[in-house]
Structure 1
Amino acid sequence: MLFGLLVPVAAFAETAATAGADTYKNLGLALGAGLAIGIAVIGGANGQGKAAAAALEGIGRNPGAADKLFVPMIIGLALIESLVIYALLIAFMLYGKIS
């Protein structure tokens, strides 16, 4: 997340002398893109960690249920990861609006 916040600052450092309204708009878009992917990654990693921990705890309590828990866990992890990928696409779209 820190990288996403520092890249826009470095990208707009040389245009600081001619700062106009358009520069501030671009800076806002760049910061928004960085925050969008940063927050999505934090939430996705937290959700995946909790889902995997719950599945492994269930398998630990009942090893015979491992086959029944594995496929739903993988599907759940894929759905959680898809939300992070959507946030990445939104960040790319915001980054593409920077002129």
Structure 2
Amino acid sequence: MAIIKGRLLVSLSLVALLLLVETATPHGQAYAIDCPALCSYRCSKAGRPKICLRACGSCCQRCGCVPPGTSGNENVCPCYAQMTTHDGRHKCP
């Protein structure tokens, strides 16, 4: 009886740990990305780089991804592509 309780406790602890890891990372990704570096490249050709970096950083943290290149390629990161401002304009550069 004690062995069964011990196994059940270990199993439940593992499930709780997996759920914590899954919900603590954006969209289930189990790795962290370097938002500042990715956004620096993404905004390297922007006319207003500080505004671009602020918006990109916000989008990157929420979505956990940044499309490759300095513009376009948003199909790679649908969350990033679908974010809008309060005015309904495209948020992410």
More helix by proportion, 1 or 2?
Answer: 1
Larger RCO, structures 1/2 (Cα 8 Å, 6+ apart): 1
Which TM-score applies when normalising by structure 2? 0.41
